[in-house]
Structure 1
Amino acid sequence: MNSGITFTPDFDSASVYVMSVYQQNVTTIWSHFTQSDLLALWWAPKPWKCETVKHEFFEKGTWLYVMLGPDGEKQFAKAQYGEIKPNSEMAVWFHRG
């Protein structure tokens, strides 16, 4: 399958590096990752929705969110931001629960 997304596992650090290239203006893409109202528009797979509880987009900041399912399911998650290079790249760690 060619999804346009590259997954690179790092077994030594128990990490997966994800890279995707988008055919869009970099500031538009960046805003859809950094602004919680825009992030909520696309983060959840349909028919699920994403609701942000807290969004601190800065190094060592936290994004707390809940995925809302069509039958009332709720999946809480947390993202922790690492190094951020504006309009270029960011390090993010995701945790369930």
Structure 2
Amino acid sequence: MKTTYEDSKDGKALTAIRTFEAPLNKVWNAWTNSEVLDKWWAPKPWVAATKRFSFTPGGEWLYAMKGPDGEEHWAIVTYKTINPNVSFTGTDNFCDAEGNASTEYKDTHWDVRFADNGNNTTTVTTTLTFGTQEDKDKLVEMGFKEGFSMGHDNLDELLKNE
């Protein structure tokens, strides 16, 4: 299965939809456990490396995506709401290795929802909301869709091999 994308009518949101061939509890764990996130989040040949992680309201996930040539891009997620096995929300931004948010990019609001399809498959719907359409377009131009889809492919592979 492939990731599909939908733009909002106002151009300020992007929704990614992907169905995984795995039960809800495994998919939820893959999105909410840093040890598992590190195994699939980055598009190959990049890898994700967590520096700190607290999956609680107000908690943070500070991680780097590391390239094969030693390049690092840091990001920080601050979790806002968590409804176990149903959804979580938070803000995401590029940052430095200490978690100081980028001034070049604005926070993106993430709303991640999980649906048990009842046939050992789980659909994850991720809606990213931006301050402006220009902010969204900037992330898309950087290759967000391709990279996120590749991460989803990594997760598919991981779930099949567990």
Q: TM-score, normalised by structure 2?
A: 0.52
Query: Please, which of 62, 75, 78 is the counterpart of residue 77 of structure 1?
Result: 75
Provide closer, same or farther for how the CA distance between residues 53 and 59 of structure 1 changes in structure 2, counting only shifts above 3 A.
same
Deviations along 1:26-82, whole A, 9 cap, x unmatched? 000011111111010000000000000001101111100001001110001101111
Query: Please, which of 57, 60, 64 is the counterpart of residue 58 of structure 2?
Result: 60
Task: Report the counterpart of residue 3 of structure 2 in structure 1.
Answer: 4
Q: Which runs of 4+ in 1 moved over 3 A?
A: 2-12, 14-21
Provide closer, same or farther for how the CA distance between residues 88 and 6 of structure 1 changes in structure 2, counting only shifts above 3 A.
farther
How far, CA to CA, are the matches of 2:82 and 2:27 in structure 1?
14
Task: Report the counterpart of residue 35 of structure 1 in structure 2.
Answer: 33
Provide closer, same or farther for how the CA distance between residues 11 and 93 of structure 1 changes in structure 2, counting only shifts above 3 A.
farther
Q: Does 1:49 align with 2:42?
A: no
Identity over the aligned pairs, expressed in percent?
Answer: 29
Amino acid at match of 2:3: G
Q: What is the CA-CA distance between 1:25 and the residue it aligns to?
A: 0.4
Select the structure of larger CA radius of gyration.
2
Task: Report the counterpart of residue 153 of structure 2 in structure 1.
Answer: none
Give structure 1 stretches of 5+ with no counterpart: none
| Matched-pair contact (CA < 8 Å) for 2:3–2:16 | no
Amino acid at match of 2:63: Y
RMSD: 2.1
Provide closer, same or farther for how the CA distance between residues 90 and 19 of structure 1 changes in structure 2, counting only shifts above 3 A.
farther
Give structure 2 stretches of 5+ with no counterpart: 96-162
| Matched-pair contact (CA < 8 Å) for 2:54–2:60 | yes
